[in-house]
Amino acid sequence: MRVVWRVAVSVFRESVRDKVLYNLVFFAILLIAASALIGQLSAGQELKIIKDLGLAAMSIFGLFIAVFIGIGLVFKEVERRSIYSLLAKPITRTQFILGKYAGLVLTLAVNLGIMVAAFYAVLAWLDATTPAVLKRAWEAPALDPAMLTAVALVFVQLMVITAVALLFSTFSSPLLSAALTFGVFLAGHFSADLRDLEQAVQSPVITGVTRALYYLLPNLAAFDVKARVVHGDPVLWTDVGLAVGYGVLYIGALLTAAVWIFSRRDFK
């Protein structure tokens, strides 16, 4: 476990050195500029739009970090030939993969944590500067803690995407890995359509294929409760629990596959 942690910390340090956390500056500028501009454009919908924008920006920035760092996690070590010296040390390939994954997840967690703090700071400012009479129109309070549920599920979704990127990184080039990971991300939002396709086609072969794809591809829509929390609609704990459980099992499957592929690679 200690070895995994060391690899994870080195991945995190490398991300910081690569100036990945600069995206936080963009996030802060985006939110502050949006809160100043949107008040003029949205006819009283600043709160909804800032919440929508903040939650979407967290998800998008996280997605880009997960994909563009995730795809190079293993490939860079192989290309730089540092994999040879690493594997010569007392570290197993499983520990290496898990450490790399944990490092990127740590980067994402720190990143998301700071974004959440900036997000709530902007919302607190909006809350403090809005007259009480206008607050009555809000569907949910500005500092609604329910938004943390949406953030938590965004985090689980990013963990899934990171695992997908890492899996591709174990056997493919960064360019192809990025294309495949984005492909999985897109397909993961259409899984409900795959399920519905069964009703539209007669062929049992196609029905079987679409059903297999439906279960094989990650159902990323399960992690999306952003609109619900913004409107103040309740999010059931059973739904959250099911989504998190699904995410954990899916990540486990992806990491196992990554370890399996990586352990079969010949670096001689």
Partner 1 sequence: MAPPDTRQAVHPPSARLAALVVVLLAGSVGLQVVRDRTRPPEAVRDAVLYVPSGAVLQRLALSYDAVLADVYWIRALLHFGGTRLAEGRPKKYEVLYPLLSIATTLDPHFNIAYRFGAFFLSEPPPGGPGRPDQAIALLERGLAARPGKWQYMQDIGFVHYWWRRDYAEAARWFKRAADQPGAPWWLRSLAANTLAEGGDRRASRALWTALAETSDNDWLRREAARRLTQLDTLDVIDQVQAIVQRHIARGGDAPYTWEALVRAGLLRGVPTDAIGTPLELGPYTGRVALPGTSPLWPLPSEPPPSQAAPLSGAQGQ
Contacts with partner 1, residue ranges (CB under 8 A): 38, 41-45, 48-49, 52-53, 55-56, 59-60, 133-134, 136-137, 139, 185-186, 189-190, 193, 220-221, 223-224, 226-227, 230-231, 233
Q: Closer CB to partner 1, residue 76 or residue 189?
A: 189
Residue 257: CB minimum distance to partner 1, A? 24
Do residues 98 and 4 lie in contact, with contact meaning Cβ atoms separated by under 8 Å? yes
Between 44 and 245, CB nearer to partner 1: 44
Smaller CB distance to partner 1: residue 5 or 182?
A: 182
- Of the pair 170, 219, the CB lying nearest partner 1 is at 219
CB of 28 to partner 1, least distance (A): 18
Name the residue nearer to partner 1 (CB basis): 151 or 258.
Answer: 151
DSSP 72: T
CA-only gyration radius of the chain, Å: 21
Taking the least distance from each CB to partner 1, the nearer of 6 and 189 is 189
In the complex, least distance from residue 147 CB atom to partner 1, rounded to whole angstroms: 13
Three-state DSSP string of the chain? CHHHHHHHHHHHHHHHHCCHHHHHHHHHHHHHHHHHHHHHHCCCCHHHHHHHHHHHHHHHHHHHHHHHHHCCCCHHHHHCCHHHHHHHCCCCHHHHHHHHHHHHHHHHHHHHHHHHHHHHHHHHHHHHHCCHHHHCCCCCCCCCCCHHHHHHHHHHHHHHHHHHHHHHHCCCCHHHHHHHHHHHHHHHCCHHHHHHHHHHCCCHHHHHHHHHHHHHCCCHHHHCCHHHHHCCCCCCHHHHHHHHHHHHHHHHHHHHHHHHHHHHCCCC
Smallest gap from Cβ 170 to partner 1, in A, equals 26
Taking the complex as a whole, the smallest distance from the CB of residue 43 to partner 1 amounts, in Å, to 5
- Minimum Å gap between C-beta 190 and partner 1 is 7
- Indicate the residue among 18 and 139 with the shorter CB distance to partner 1: 139
3-state secondary structure of 202: coil
Min CB(268)–partner 1 separation in Å: 43
